[in-house]
Amino acid sequence: MTEALTEKNFSSSQVLQTKCGECKLVCSVAPVSEQAGSFYCGRCRPEGIPNRPFEKAAKKVIFPCVFGCGFHSFGKDALEHEVYCMNRTVVCPFVNCTSTNTLQDLYKHIIGCHRAYVYDQETPKIHHSLHASSKAVGLNCIKVDEFVLLFFVRLYRKADIVNFEYNVCLVWPQNFERLRFHNMQLRLEIEVPQSDSKVIKLIQCKNIGNYYDRSHCVNCLLRSCDKILHEEFNLLLHNIPFHVKGNSEVDVLYTVQECKERAVFVKVPDGLECPVCMDYMTNEIYLCDAGHSFCARCNRFQVKRICPICRHEMNDVRNFTMEELTKQIKVPCRNVLIGCKFVALAADVLQHELLCRHDLYLKPSDFGWS
């Protein structure tokens, strides 16, 4: 396509025939940018400068799914569908494995080639040893009922602090209703014997995102990935620090399993917890372009200003309605499943949790961090 074509209006057929110069897929994902006569879609260049005449025409076009599943959508919804399309070809996330499969067949591949890392309902106690300044990366596949989950973890030590970073994503079935999924939660238990530390963390389904191979890759965590379309993305959304002063070698043991316990307590509205740090949101609350809310800290530090849930752009638009709700709705202490009965406004609960006697979760403030 030539430079001259950008100076006049695009027809619908021209839009549907324009393919990205990088991924060779139809340019159905904005922003669509142009360089040296070639066009590039928002999948490959999410920060590209939009070609206004093209995008104006594309807003009126209904695009077929690029993977041939039969789904049709406007361009603004195309990427959201592509992320979980059952026909999408994905690269295996395990280290040094270059096998490609459709999303719905990925679990069969993992069972066939990585059986040692596949568990039903729960993992055994997984052990890592860390020396000074050492790192460890792990990936395990957990099948809970009909749901296939991937648990990514990276451990690294800096001086007297061991950081346990993790994330959980849903491989299959992926859809945005996930009606049978909404009651499930996982129980993550971490032990560091040298410091007598034990953490129990409940991972709710709303904090489990869809698997996206460009962002969820063990080779990327190891800094050894050579795939040009993979992103420098905040894959490991959650971090739990441990203080291990005076220990030359540290053992970290963890298990992940479905939590079947159900406590009777005040229902927490889903939107009151930040989906990144999982703290209650208070004071300033911000929105991404698709409407997901984040606390001020996570909005400020999110990598590349991309929402980790839907991958839309994050900005500085305030969610004033939610800010008012946090000043009116009482919520429970997050240690409710281990016996705490404290209920108050979100800001008061955050202060209470710093000193909660039921607390098994170590916070950065425990080590004097801000």
Do 269 and 126 fall within a single domain?
Answer: no
Give me the mean pLDDT over the 189-195 stretch. Answer: 88
CA separation, residue 266 to residues 45, 197, 276, 332 (Å):
44, 29, 22, 6
DSSP secondary structure, 238-271, as one string: EEEEEE-TT-SSEEEEEEEEE-------PPPPGG
Q: Do 25 and 162 share a domain, yes or no?
A: no
What is the reported pTM? 0.64
Give the C-alpha separation, 244 to 235, whole Å: 25
Which pLDDT does position 4 carry in this prediction? 42
Mean of pLDDT values over 195-208: 82
Domain termination site, one of 215, 241, 262: 262
State whether 247 and 188 are in the same domain: yes
Q: How many CB atoms lie within 10 A of CB 142?
A: 22
Side-chain-side CA neighbours of residue 281 (13 Å): 29
Angle at 325 between CA 320 and CA 326, to 5 degrees: 100
Give the long-range contacts of residues 201-204, CB within 8 A, separation 24 or more. Answer: 201/240, 201/361, 202/259, 202/334, 202/337, 203/168
Residues 252 and 288 in one domain: no
> Does pLDDT of 343 surpass 80?
yes
pLDDT digits (tens, 9 = 90+) for 132-153: 778 889 999 999 888 899 999 9
Do 139 and 164 belong together in one domain? yes
> If DSSP codes are grouped into helix, strand and coil, which group holds residue 90?
strand
- Of the candidates 84, 103, 126, which is a domain's last residue? 84
Residue 340 sits in a domain whose CATH number is 3.30.40.10
Q: Residue 27: its pLDDT value, please? A: 93
Mark which of 262, 279, 307 sits at the end of a domain. 262
The encoded tokens of residue 255 equal 């298990």
pLDDT digits (tens, 9 = 90+) for 274-308: 877 777 887 888 888 888 888 888 887 766 677 77
Counting the structural domains of the chain, the total is 3
pLDDT value, residue 21: 93
- 242, 95: one domain: yes
Q: Residue 2: exposed, middle, or buried by beta-carbon count in 10 A (0-12, 13-18, 19+)?
A: exposed
Model pLDDT for residues 300-342, shown as the tens digit of each residue: 776 667 777 777 777 788 888 888 888 887 778 877 766 677 8
Digit-coded pLDDT (tens) for 231-285: 655 566 788 888 887 767 889 999 999 876 544 344 455 567 787 777 788 788 8
**How far is residue 106's CA from residue 90's CA, in Å, rounded to a whole number?**
8
Q: Are 203 and 168 in contact (CB under 8 A)?
A: yes
> Is the domain of 194 the same as that of 235?
yes
Whether residues 213 and 158 share a domain: the answer is yes
Please check whether residue 150 is in contact with residue 217, taking contact to mean a CB–CB distance below 8 angstroms.
no
**pLDDT band at 63, cuts 50/70/90?**
very high
Which pLDDT score is estimated for 153?
A: 92
31 and 117 housed in the same domain: no
Residues 69 and 201 in one domain: no
Same domain, 338 and 215: no
Q: Residue 66 maps to which CATH number? A: 3.30.40
Question: What domain range includes position 73?
Answer: 3-84
- Write out the H or E segment, with its range, that includes residue 55: helix 52-58
Q: What is the DSSP string of 221-245?
A: HTT----TT--------EEEEEE-T
Confidence of residue 211 (pLDDT cuts 50, 70, 90): confident
For range 94-111, the mean pLDDT: 90
Residues 180 and 300 in one domain: no
- Measured between alpha carbons, how far is 268 from 71 in angstroms, rounded to an integer? 35
Give the pLDDT of residue 231: 62
**What are the angstrom distances between the C-alpha of 120 and each of 94, 111, 141?**
18, 11, 9
Range with the lowest mean pLDDT among 57-61, 62-66, 327-331, 359-363? 359-363
